[in-house]
Amino acid sequence: MGVSAARLNRSFVSRFASNINHVCRRINNTGHVYDADVAELKERMADVWELLKVQQREEL
């Protein structure tokens, strides 16, 4: 994997982690879990898995 691709992946994962933290803070503050938040987190997690699969294929 090239340096720019690795940097892009780190950036994406960092934004995803930030989004998770934002949702968790809202849940802790309100005590409510919103379906839209869960759906978004599932989508982003699927994106992370796809990045990992691509990276694994490139390294093999």
In the predicted structure, residue 2 carries a pLDDT above the cut 70? no
CA distance 40 to 20: 10
Between 59 and 1, the higher pLDDT residue? 59
Number of domains in the chain: 1
- Provide the pLDDT for residue 30: 93
Q: Write out the residue range of the structural domain in which residue 26 sits.
A: 3-59
CB 27 within 8 A of CB 33: yes
CA distance 60 to 56: 6
In the predicted structure, residue 14 carries a pLDDT above the cut 80? yes
Is this structure's pTM higher than 0.85?
no
